[in-house]
Chains A and B, each alone.
Chain A
Amino acid sequence: MSVPDWPGHRAGQHVDVRLTAEDGYQAQRSYSIASAPEDPYLVLTVQYLPDGEVSPYLTQELQIGDSLELRGPIGDYFVWEEKLGGPLFLIAGGSGVVPLRAMIRDYLAGTADVPVRLLYSSRSLPDVIYRDELAEMHDDKDLDIQFTLTDQQPPGWSGYARRVDLDLLTAVAFSSADHPLTYICGPTAFVEAVANGLVELGHDPSGIRTERFGGT
């Protein structure tokens, strides 16, 4: 999207989108910004939910030339920018990868000299958003991307095939002695389990930032 007078944003922020029907009926939802501040357009990545009220409209009805009402950019907590440093550990569950993708793109476009690791959990390979883009980015600068598919793996799959449990965190996380900045985003149950797991492994809770996307 191109947004008139867009003030720029920081990676991790979101916008509130408001839709108004002709009879005045309104619905509002929040969407994380998928684009980095350096990218030419503002990009939102929306997951289609068959029972949804807003996502079917945004993913199937919206056409080029249509306009949307936005409020934002919003968010001051779940934000990463270069000056915050690293190492940077990003953990995504499902569509929680969206704000983390913005952080990765911001990192690659900038000059921060820190290691960055993304651990991205999805149910199966077709559920992985930005699959090709992320596969290509792996090993750019000091970026490491690990996928885990929890329900179904394709033949010959060489990535992880389990939930993000203590064992997987132990294998992938930076050492707590490195004092990483950790950002966890996804369904609420996923975020809580991962955050609790990291704290159990000795990570400082004050270095962990979370964003819960609904879901129990």
Chain B
Amino acid sequence: MAISRGFHGKRHDGADASRLPPGQHVVPDFPVLSAGPTPQTPLEEWTFEIRGLIDKPISWSWEEFLALPNETPTVDIHCVTKWTKLGTTWRGVSVKTLLADVSTTAKFALAFCDGGYTSNLPIEDLTGGGAWIAYEYDGGPLPAQHGGPARLLVPHLYFWKSAKWVRGLELRDHDEPGFWEGYGYHNYGDPWKEQRYRGD
């Protein structure tokens, strides 16, 4: 492997190393990664749904969703392609709030999205207080290229789990791999254990 003299990419030095999972580096911008074209769902047609292992599916319209109690988390995010952004600010509804009145025996959830993308998570990673359905980023409406109108935000896992253009959660008793998990990325994706690919 040839070393390219003087190459270091767009990485910032001097970041607090204790906030960086192994193999990650801080970048100044917010890279846009996508497996498909940006969906264009009009807000009048947008709904967020909880379905699956539940008595009756629940659904919110955009206005109803914005009326829910929301939080403004500030979090570090880590992409499997090795970039990290520290201190990103969001507004969204905690998934713990969304599932608070839901009675279910589900152990897993599959986030599903406009455009067909999915990501899977154990239910406790969604209900533990560290997951949101976010609709604002950096003080403004979440841009479409970053997942707007709303995306899943689960910062303690690699960012491919934070599904863009999310439209709901399917509660399940069996785990089912989502889009990237099915193609060879790690089923769980803990950046602190560097769980990038299946078998890591």
Chain A residues with a Cβ under 8 A of chain B: 19-22, 24-25, 27, 51, 53, 57, 61-63, 66-69
Complex partner residue of B4 from A19, A51, A53, CB under 8 angstroms: A19
Contacts of A62 in B (CB 8 A): 6
| Structural contact, A57 and B2, CB atoms closer than 8 A | no
Nearest Cβ distance between residue B110 and chain A, in whole angstroms? 30
Nearest Cβ distance between residue B166 and chain A, in whole angstroms? 23
Contacts of A24 in B (CB 8 A): 1
Distance A62 CA – B9 CA, assembled complex (angstroms): 13
Would A53 and B5 be within 8 Å (CB), given that A25-B25, A25-B82 are in contact? Answer: no
List the B residue with the shortest CB-CB distance to A61. Answer: B6
Q: Would you list which residues of chain B between 1 and 60 have a CB under 8 Å from chain A?
A: 1-11, 25, 29
| Structural contact, A67 and B2, CB atoms closer than 8 A | yes
Would A69 and B2 be within 8 Å (CB), given that A25-B11, A61-B7 are in contact? Answer: yes
Contacts of A68 in B (CB 8 A): 2, 4
Chain B's interface: helix, strand, loop or mixed, by majority?
Answer: loop
Known: A20-B4, A51-B29. 19 other contacts (CB 8 A): A19-B4, A19-B7, A20-B3, A21-B3, A21-B8, A21-B9, A22-B8, A24-B1, A25-B11, A27-B7, A53-B9, A53-B10, A57-B7, A61-B7, A63-B5, A67-B2, A67-B4, A68-B2, A68-B4
Distance A19 CA – B3 CA, assembled complex (angstroms): 7
| Structural contact, B9 and A66, CB atoms closer than 8 A | no
Contacts of B9 in A (CB 8 A): 19, 21, 25, 27, 53
Nearest Cβ distance between residue B14 and chain A, in whole angstroms? 15
Distance A181 CA – B4 CA, assembled complex (angstroms): 39
Contacts of B25 in A (CB 8 A): 25
Contacts of B29 in A (CB 8 A): 51
Contacts of B6 in A (CB 8 A): 57, 61-62, 66
| Structural contact, B1 and A20, CB atoms closer than 8 A | yes
20 interchain pairs, CB-CB under 8 A = A19-B7, A19-B9, A20-B1, A20-B4, A20-B7, A21-B3, A21-B8, A21-B9, A22-B3, A22-B8, A24-B1, A25-B8, A25-B9, A27-B9, A57-B6, A61-B7, A62-B6, A67-B2, A68-B2, A68-B4
Distance A53 CA – B83 CA, assembled complex (angstroms): 12
Contacts of B2 in A (CB 8 A): 20, 67-69
| Structural contact, A69 and B4, CB atoms closer than 8 A | yes
Contacts of B7 in A (CB 8 A): 19-21, 27, 57, 61
Nearest Cβ distance between residue A183 and chain B, in whole angstroms? 25
Distance A25 CA – B5 CA, assembled complex (angstroms): 12
Contacts of B5 in A (CB 8 A): 63, 66
Nearest Cβ distance between residue A58 and chain B, in whole angstroms? 9
